[in-house]
Amino acid sequence: MTRPRVNQSIAKCPGPCDIAIPIVYPNQPITIPVAAVREQIPFEGIDVEASMRATFTDPDSSPPLSIQSVRAQGPAVIGLGHAGIAIINGVSGAVAYFEYGRYDGARGFGRVREVALSPSTITFDDSNKPDSASFASLLRSLAQTNNPTAGYDFEAVYIELPNGAFDIMKAFAEQRRQQIEEGPEGGAQPYNVANNHCFTFAMEVISEVGVGFNIRQANPLNLKLQGGNFLTRGAVSTFAPTFEVPARQMRALQTQYPALNVSNEGRITNGFQFP
């Protein structure tokens, strides 16, 4: 797939800039399929369910990890985080939100979906920043993308971009959606918590317009093996899955771009200021 690029010679916007807001919802429960983990552990004697309980129950983790419930597929984990990305057109005020997740059941490739926001457009003030009323409405809507009743708090970054970036990011997200729908015929890779998931999708979107970042400081989560013996656990550790943690990756990203933390009710909870 040919990826367009923003003209990096554009130094600033003549009016309001386009905006990207990558988001992570750390308290949105994420289901980790037991069967998928078991497939990666080729030795008997390892208690996969106990290993997952030990891995995803860690109050000292940053953010803390806990199992909200156990579903048919596996534990629903709080603290890993689910990611998405909101984009804003500085010229028209149009707003769009995309996310990639495991929405296709047994198919395995995941799905990119666009979630309608209200408002679908925002207005800007005399300083070319989103005006307070429409921005507040947008934040409330973003808190409710996956929980319309109670909302989820989220952690994000706010990135201003040259005009034209919105169209490129939106086109890329739509192209990725089509590619994933086509599966292997479209060149799509299966959804994978190690390297092809909700946060990597959001980073692909901003990379498409030249946004640089370094999230290597976000430590992945290694499966804490339970059962078996010392030798078995040592052998299995080579094959055991590693989980990237979007909530940790976002906190690494927040060291590089303006951090925007928002409550489940849509209120800013940190000292965010427009750049």
pLDDT of residue 230: 66
| Residue pair 206/98 in contact by the 8 Å Cβ criterion | no
274 falls within a domain: no
Half-sphere CA count of 18, side-chain side, radius 13 A: 22
The single residue listed with the structure tokens 């799905």 is 111
Within 10 A of 106 (CB to CB), how many other CB atoms are there? 7
| Residue pair 141/154 in contact by the 8 Å Cβ criterion | no
| Number of domains comprising the chain | 1
For 115, phi and psi rounded to 5 degrees? -105, 125
The closest alpha carbon to 246, from 36, 27, 49, 80, belongs to 80
pLDDT of residue 11: 40
Helices (H) and strands (E) in the chain, counts: 7, 12
Which amino acid is it at 254? Q
Low-confidence ranges of the chain (pLDDT < 50): 1-11
pLDDT of residue 107: 67
81 falls within a domain: yes
Radius of gyration, alpha carbons of the chain: 20
pLDDT of residue 110: 86
275 falls within a domain: no
145 falls within a domain: yes
7 falls within a domain: no
234 falls within a domain: yes
What Cα–Cα distance (Å) separates residue 196 from each residue in 68, 116, 124? 24, 24, 35
pLDDT of residue 241: 80
224 falls within a domain: yes
3 falls within a domain: no
CA–CA dist 167, 96 (Å, integer): 10
pLDDT of residue 249: 97
CA–CA dist 83, 248 (Å, integer): 11
Q: In terms of residue numbers, what domain contains 66?
A: 18-262
Tokens of 65: 């990890």
In DSSP terms, 79 is beta-bridged to none
pLDDT of residue 193: 80
Could you report the per-residue pLDDT of 55-93, keeping only the tens digit for each?
Answer: 999 999 999 999 999 998 899 999 999 999 999 999 999
| Residues contacting 194, CB < 8 A, separation 6+ | 220, 241, 242, 243, 244
pLDDT of residue 10: 38
